[in-house]
Chain A
Amino acid sequence: NAGVTQTPKFRILKIGQSMTLQCAQDMNHNYMYWYRQDPGMGLKLIYYSVGAGITDKGEVPNGYNVSRSTTEDFPLRLELAAPSQTSVYFCASSYKTGYTGELFFGEGSRLTVL
């Protein structure tokens, strides 16, 4: 099992550009999440999904969009990138239909917006 795979690992964007961060998991997990981690701050939930076709907002959804067309994939779309979106983005998934807090994280995507 590869676990949770994120691409790209690093990306530099110019202000106003758009991009998609890819996330795939091969553990057949129902739940998937996108978090961002800023220096000296705790992880903040952007969006999450409880299954294919179902997504919901987290704490900091503004400027982002997601889709979940398959169980395996959960891409995060950044529209009109802003410097405030400079961060490390983590995708995660969890196993049980009842939420246990045991998340499996990818290695992160480091995004810089200049």
Chain B
Amino acid sequence: EDQVTQSPEALRLQEGESSSLNCSYTVSGLRGLFWYRQDPGKGPEFLFTLYSAGEEKEKERLKATLTKKESFLHITAPKPEDSATYLCAVQAPRGSEKLVFGKGTKLTVNP
């Protein structure tokens, strides 16, 4: 069964303190790995798609990387506005429209 495990469940940082969130996955024939940001009371907002091991994507203070078994979301010098829950999802093999989501990492950045 396809699985996505995110760690840690919660992370508290001081403003400017860089760190990384982890997403490990088990899926045969990965078609894509996706990162979303979700603010309280809102729907998830798309951040990145990664398709193959070694690929990296960046957006402002965020950088996503992908290996054959896991992905990292690196947060450099975070600000309080980066506080949110970050969701990781993988796309099941061709023929399926399903995304398998992890439970998320709740990030809190204190000023």
Contacts and interface: CB of A to CB of B under 8 A. Distances in A.
B27 to A, nearest CB: 13
A101 B102 contact: no
Contacts of B102: 42
Interface in B64-111: 87, 89, 91, 97-104
B103 A42 contact: yes
B42 A59 contact: no
A103 B41 contact: no
B16 interface: no
Interface of B: 4, 31-32, 34, 41-46, 49, 87, 89, 91, 97-104
13 contacts: A31-B97, A33-B97, A42-B4, A42-B101, A99-B97, A101-B32, A101-B49, A102-B49, A105-B44, A105-B45, A107-B42, A107-B43, A108-B42
